[in-house]
């Protein structure tokens, strides 16, 4: 298998595209009714023999024109590998990748017309900003007379018009990343891939760049974007849909709202929003309303319909109760209907305090609870725990599907 480990966005010197179709970005017939991006049962493996790592397993994904999909997952889950397979920097063992319906699996990276931005910027250090942005245009055979306009347009889009003469080392990290984005945009790609573009920036800069990426997205309504991140807040801020990845596989894909409100799996519930997952037993389900037992205490919960959930909720079956830390309220320990527990830890976070509570009925399951302001309750304080009506959602226990 061919293995290419070059930086994702590093332009390939010497690759000589035979296309003049810089405008459409891709060769040949384009089917505008097809998804902008298609992954069809893509498998990618690194290495050979016993040391093989399967980095992508039966990966299927479709992204519509103009849609932004975030690939969200922990480090090593295969996110970058998916991007590399689409950009052409790694060759799938099997399966195909398509752009607007056209199979590009065997096309060299430079001929795919995809804009790519990576965490490390990958700018040429000896080239000025405008030369960096122009670089991809030359390899895409954009007429010389047009290059200046395109560079100016791309730098304008990222607010870097005044910096064309600078060298990368004369720019801050955020500015370098803007240039990298301009370079990707200069080829006017139909498909833009971003691999953790904010990961190298400090927290404050990340926030303002996130807002700029939102604006950029709005300015490019026809461009499909695949945005790789391990940071759920970036995925929530930018993506129309979120594809959650784990161990080389796609776990769940849906709108952020659906994944948040009705997580289809315990992994997604925990990874997106850090939910509490309490073991419970289903007592009965009527429509989408469930009565469950948490260590003997009855609790009402939302039960996603079988067409949404991968499981049918059966009486007496075990499940998990998904509870967001901010949705839980603490009461006096003796309040009726509240589950008695004890505070075991408390961390003040400024606008909220994160309390850890051990429930008397389920001493092994620790609940994270966020309360507003600076909470003074020390460890050991007896409390009552109350769940919001319908704010608790049933999630299948791992391995549980109907």
The torsion of the CA quartet 319, 323, 324, 330, rounded to 10 degrees, works out to: -160
Sign of CA dihedral 242, 245, 250, 251: negative
7 binds, among ligand ADP, Mg ion, none (CB under 5 to 8 A by kind): none
Beta bridge partners of 290: 285, 301
Beta bridge partners of 393: 302, 322
Among 15, 20, 52, 53, binds ligand ADP (CB under 6 A): 53
Among 11, 17, 25, 78, binds ligand ADP (CB under 6 A): 78
Q: Are 228 and 68 in contact (CB under 8 A)?
A: no
Of residues 196 and 252, the one with the C-beta less far from Mg ion:
196
Q: Are 300 and 294 in contact (CB under 8 A)?
A: no
CB 193, min distance to Mg ion, A: 12
For the sheet containing 329-331, what is the strand order? 329-331, 382-386, 339-348, 352-359, 366-372
Among 76, 295, 310, 391, binds ligand ADP (CB under 6 A): 76
CB 85, min distance to ligand ADP, A: 9
CB 118, min distance to ligand ADP, A: 11
Of residues 82 and 154, the one with the C-beta less far from ligand ADP:
82
The yes or no reply on residue 88 touching ligand ADP (CB under 6 A) is: no
The yes or no reply on residue 55 touching ligand ADP (CB under 6 A) is: yes
77 binds, among ligand ADP, Mg ion, none (CB under 5 to 8 A by kind): ligand ADP
78 binds, among Mg ion, ligand ADP, none (CB under 5 to 8 A by kind): ligand ADP
Q: Is 325 helix (H, G, I), strand (E, B) or coil?
A: helix
Q: Please, where are the H alpha helices in 290-384?
A: none
Among 29, 32, 33, 75, binds ligand ADP (CB under 6 A): 75
Of residues 4 and 308, the one with the C-beta less far from Mg ion:
4
Among 38, 68, 80, 265, binds ligand ADP (CB under 6 A): 80
The yes or no reply on residue 73 touching ligand ADP (CB under 6 A) is: yes
Q: Is 77 helix (H, G, I), strand (E, B) or coil?
A: coil
Of residues 73 and 384, the one with the C-beta less far from ligand ADP:
73
Of residues 15 and 53, the one with the C-beta less far from ligand ADP:
53
Residue 13-52 contact track with ligand ADP, rule CB under 6 A, x = bound: ---------------------------------xx-----
In degrees and rounded to multiples of 5, residue 354 shows phi and psi of: -95, 115
Of residues 1 and 219, the one with the C-beta less far from ligand ADP:
1
For the sheet containing 53-63, what is the strand order? 53-63, 37-46, 94-99, 102-103
8 binds, among ligand ADP, Mg ion, none (CB under 5 to 8 A by kind): none
73 binds, among ligand ADP, Mg ion, none (CB under 5 to 8 A by kind): ligand ADP
CA distance 63 to 65: 7
Q: How many residues bind ligand ADP (CB under 6 A)?
A: 13
Please enumerate in sequence order all residues whose Cβ is within 8 A of that of 234, keeping only pairs 6 or more positions apart, or say none.
70, 198, 210, 227
Please enumerate in sequence order all residues whose Cβ is within 8 A of that of 190, keeping only pairs 6 or more positions apart, or say none.
24, 25, 26, 36, 65, 99, 100, 113, 222, 223, 224
Of residues 80 and 266, the one with the C-beta less far from Mg ion:
80
Helix (H) or strand (E) holding 147: helix 144-157
Applying CB under 6 A, which residues contact ligand ADP?
Answer: 5, 46-47, 53, 55, 73, 75-81
């Amino acid at each position: 298998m061919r293995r290419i480990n070059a930086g994702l966005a590093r332009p390939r010197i010497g690759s000589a595209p035979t296309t003049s179709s810089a405008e459409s970005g891709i060769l040949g017939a384009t089917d505008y009714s097809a998804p902008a991006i298609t992954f069809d049962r893509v498998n990618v493996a690194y290495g050979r023999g016993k040391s093989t790592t399967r980095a992508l397993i039966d990966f299927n994904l479709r992204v519509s024109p103009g849609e932004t999909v975030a690939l969200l997952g922990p480090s090593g889950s295969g996110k970058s590998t998916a991007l590399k397979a689409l950009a052409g920097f790694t060759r799938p063992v099997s399966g195909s990748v398509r752009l607007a319906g056209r199979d590009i699996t065997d096309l060299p990276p430079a001929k795919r017309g995809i804009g790519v931005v990576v965490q490390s910027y990958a700018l040429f250090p000896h080239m000025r900003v405008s030369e960096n942005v122009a670089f991809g245009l030359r390899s895409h055979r954009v007429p010389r007379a047009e290059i200046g306009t395109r560079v100016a347009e791309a730098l304008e889009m990222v607010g870097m018009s005044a910096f064309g003469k600078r060298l990368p080392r004369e720019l801050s990290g955020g500015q370098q990343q803007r240039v990298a984005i301009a370079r990707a945009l200069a080829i006017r790609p139909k498909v833009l891939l971003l691999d953790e573009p904010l990961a190298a920036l400090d927290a404050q800069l990340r926030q303002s760049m996130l807002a700029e990426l939102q604006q950029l997205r709005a300015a490019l309504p026809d461009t499909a974007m695949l945005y790789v991140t391990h940071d759920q807040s970036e995925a929530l801020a930018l993506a129309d849909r979120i594809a959650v990845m784990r161990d080389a596989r796609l776990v769940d894909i849906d709108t952020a709202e659906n994944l948040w409100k009705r997580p289809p799996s315990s992994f997604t519930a925990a990874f997106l929003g850090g939910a509490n997952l309490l073991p419970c037993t289903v007592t009965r389900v009527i429509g989408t309303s469930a009565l469950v037992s948490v260590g003997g205490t009855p609790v009402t919960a939302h039960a996603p319909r079988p067409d949404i959930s991968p499981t049918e909720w059966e009486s007496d079956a075990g499940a998990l109760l998904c509870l967001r830390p901010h949705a839980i309220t603490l009461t006096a320990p003796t309040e009726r209907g509240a589950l008695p527990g004890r505070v075991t830890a408390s961390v003040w976070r400024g606008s909220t305090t994160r309390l850890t509570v051990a429930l008397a009925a389920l001493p092994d399951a620790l609940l994270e609870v966020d309360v507003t302001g600076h909470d003074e309750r020390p460890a050991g304080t007896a409390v009552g725990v109350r769940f919001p009506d319908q704010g608790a959602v049933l999630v299948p226990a791992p391995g549980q599907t109907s």
